[in-house]
Structure 1
Amino acid sequence: MIEVNLEMEVTPEELFDVIVPSILYDIKESTGKTVKVNQLHDNYTYKKKLKSKMGKEAGVRVTITRFEYPVVYEAKFESASGDNLMRYEVERLENGNSGLSYVEDFAGSGKMAAMNGWLIGLVYNHKAKKDIAKRLRAMEKSIIDNRALDDDEFLKETETSENEN
Structure 2
Amino acid sequence: MQLTKTLKVTPEELFDALAGSIMQDIENATGKRPSRNKLNGYKYEKRAQSAKGKAKGTAIKVKIKHFDYPCLYEVRFQYAAGINTMRYEAVPAGDGACELTYTEDFQGVGGNTSGTRGKLGLFFYERKLKSHANQAIDQIVKYIEGERRVKANPAFADDTAENASDVFH
TM-score above 0.5, yes or no: yes
- Percent identity reads 36
TM-score, structure 2 as length reference: 0.78
2:44 equivalent in structure 1: 46
Is 1:127 matched with 2:128? yes
Question: Aligned equivalents of 1:22 and 1:45: distance in 2?
Answer: 15
Question: Aligned equivalents of 2:83 and 2:122: distance in 1?
Answer: 14
Question: Aligned equivalents of 2:142 and 2:49: distance in 1?
Answer: 30
- Runs of 5+ in structure 2 lacking a partner? 155-169
Contact 2:60 2:79 in 1 (8 A): yes
Larger Rg computed on CA atoms = 1
Question: Aligned equivalents of 2:152 and 2:49: distance in 1?
Answer: 41
TM-score, structure 1 as length reference: 0.79
Question: Aligned equivalents of 1:106 and 1:33: distance in 2?
Answer: 28
2:167 equivalent in structure 1: none
Is 1:102 matched with 2:102? yes
User: Aligned in 2, Cα 1:31/1:9: closer, same or farther, shift over 3 Å?
Assistant: same
1:70 equivalent in structure 2: 70
Structure 1 runs of 4+ with >2 Å offset: 55-58, 113-121, 124-128
Question: Aligned equivalents of 2:57 and 2:26: distance in 1?
Answer: 18
Is 1:4 matched with 2:10? no
CA RMSD of aligned residues (A): 2.3
- Runs of 5+ in structure 1 lacking a partner? 154-165
1:19 equivalent in structure 2: 18
Pairwise CA distance, 1:34: 1.9
Question: Aligned equivalents of 1:35 and 1:117: distance in 2?
Answer: 39
**Highest RCO, 1 vs 2 (Cα 8 Å, sep ≥ 6):** 1
